[in-house]
């Protein structure tokens, strides 16, 4: 890059850096606000204004939302579909991506074309709903995991990633009597941890944020993931959770909404820093073009 320290260049860097900082702040300040309100006392919230840190702390909102079963139940549902669903994703995707990475495999182009076509054209909402229903998955948590077992996009990126692993490693395992399944699990996957971590994050974010499929496939509100509950509370603005009414003067509907947002967001944000270091390696391998 350019290293001339002329006035124009320095001014450019300064302006550019400032704009970027403002953009970065705009990306996180709403979260800071939400977090601050959720911990602020009802009295201070009632006065209004932009609160970026609580002057008077209060845990009443959190105490309230955890006094009901609803939030815990939804939380457990979300954790369950995220963990189990992501495992299903990773196993299904890597099982399919590995053979497709072998260029000598007969018929692989046809399978790849078949996958590609599903990325261009789909049966749409209604026929898919009937398939899920015919499989007796509706109103079970499986309906949130099985129909999304493989993303065609991730599959192709992972296939490209596997293709870059040198064949020599696998050949030596084969000579030692390992079959292809063993090679995948003992050699290829351990070598692919950055990529697997990245895909795990992508899939996990999808599951955790899943909302519409739950509305579509699940009637039983005890099986609602947290996002559906969140919509009820924050957007449809009932301001209360499930069974208990708010009659306590110590509770502000606003702080409760904020506290629920915090709880629906925190777990997935906590995973991000752990996997972030893999992004640069993981995401770009294979990249869009293949």
Partner 1 sequence: MALDSTLARPKPAPTKRSAIRTLMRDILRDRWLYLMLLPGIAYFIVFKYVPMYGVTMAFQDYKPHLGMLNSPWVGMKHFERFFAEPQFWMLFRNTVLLAVYNLVFFFPMPIILALMLNEVRSGGYKRFVQTLIYIPHFVSWVVVVGIFYLLLTTENGVLNEIIFRLTGEKIAFLLDPDWFRTMIISQSIWKEVGWGTIIFLAALAGVDLQLYEAARMDGAGRWRQLWHITLPAIRSTIIILLILRLGNFLDSGFEHIFLMLTPTNRDVGDVFDTYVYVKGMTQAQYSYSAAVGLFKSVVGLGLVLGSNWLAKRFGQEGVY
In angstroms, the CA 76 to CA 58 distance is 25
> Is 166 an interacting residue with respect to partner 1 (CB under 8 A)?
no
> Is 209 an interacting residue with respect to partner 1 (CB under 8 A)?
yes
Find the binding residues for partner 1 in span 49-78 (CB under 8 A): 49-50
> Is 24 an interacting residue with respect to partner 1 (CB under 8 A)?
yes
Contact stretch for partner 1 (CB under 8 A) within 54-62, 119-127, 164-172, 240-248: 119-127
Contact stretch for partner 1 (CB under 8 A) within 20-28, 53-61, 67-75, 238-246: 20-28
Asked if 1 and 16 count as a contact pair (C-beta separation under 8 A), the reply is: no
Burial 245-282 (b: 16+ CB within 10 A, else e): eeeeeebbbbbbbbbbbbbbbeebeebeeebeebeeeb
By beta-carbon proximity to partner 1, the closer residue of 48 and 190 is 48
> Is 18 an interacting residue with respect to partner 1 (CB under 8 A)?
no
Among 54, 68, 173, 231, binds partner 1 (CB under 8 A): 231
Q: At which residue do the structure tokens 């499989």 appear?
A: 135
> Is 246 an interacting residue with respect to partner 1 (CB under 8 A)?
no
By beta-carbon proximity to partner 1, the closer residue of 62 and 202 is 202
H-helix or E-strand spanning residue 172: helix 167-175
Contact stretch for partner 1 (CB under 8 A) within 63-71, 130-138, 189-197, 239-247: 130-138
> Is 196 an interacting residue with respect to partner 1 (CB under 8 A)?
no
Strand partners, 40: 57
Q: How many CA atoms lie within 13 A of 45 on its CB side?
A: 24
Q: How far is the CB of 31 from partner 1 (least distance, A)?
A: 7
Among 67, 122, 164, 238, binds partner 1 (CB under 8 A): 122
Q: How far is the CB of 28 from partner 1 (least distance, A)?
A: 5
In angstroms, the CA 86 to CA 82 distance is 6
By beta-carbon proximity to partner 1, the closer residue of 80 and 279 is 279
> Is 43 an interacting residue with respect to partner 1 (CB under 8 A)?
no
Q: How many CA atoms lie within 13 A of 276 on its CB side?
A: 7
In angstroms, the CA 65 to CA 231 distance is 15
> Is 36 an interacting residue with respect to partner 1 (CB under 8 A)?
no
> Which is it for the CA torsion 91, 94, 97, 103, positive or negative?
negative
């Amino acid at each position: 890059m350019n290293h001339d320290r002329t006035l124009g260049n320095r001014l450019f860097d300064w302006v550019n850096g400032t704009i970027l900082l403002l953009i970065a702040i705009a990306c996180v300040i709403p979260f800071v606000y939400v977090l601050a309100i959720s911990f602020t006392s009802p009295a201070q919230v009632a006065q209004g204004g932009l609160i970026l840190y609580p002057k008077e702390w209060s845990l009443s909102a959190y105490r309230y939302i955890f006094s009901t079963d609803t939030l815990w139940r939804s939380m457990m549902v979300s954790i369950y579909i995220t963990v189990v669903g992501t495992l299903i994703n990773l196993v299904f995707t890597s099982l399919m991506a590995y053979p497709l990475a072998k260029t000598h495999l007969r018929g692989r182009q046809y399978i790849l074309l078949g996958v590609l076509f599903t990325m261009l054209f789909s049966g749409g909402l209604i026929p898919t709903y009937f398939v899920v229903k015919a499989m007796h998955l509706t109103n079970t948590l499986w309906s949130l995991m099985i129909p999304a077992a493989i993303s065609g996009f991730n599959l192709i990126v992972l296939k490209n990633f596997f293709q870059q692993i040198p064949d020599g490693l696998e050949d030596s395992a084969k000579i030692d009597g390992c079959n292809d399944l063993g090679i995948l699990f003992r050699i290829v996957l351990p070598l692919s941890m950055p990529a697997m971590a990245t895909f795990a994050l992508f899939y996990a974010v999808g599951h955790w944020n899943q909302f519409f499929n739950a509305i579509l496939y699940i009637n039983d509100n005890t099986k609602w993931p947290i996002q559906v509950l969140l919509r009820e509370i924050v957007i449809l603005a009932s301001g209360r959770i499930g069974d208990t009414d708010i009659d306590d003067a110590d509770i502000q509907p606003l702080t409760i909404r904020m506290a629920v947002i915090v709880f629906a967001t925190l777990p997935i944000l906590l995973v991000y820093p752990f996997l972030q270091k893999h992004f640069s390696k993981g995401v770009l391998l294979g990249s869009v073009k293949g």
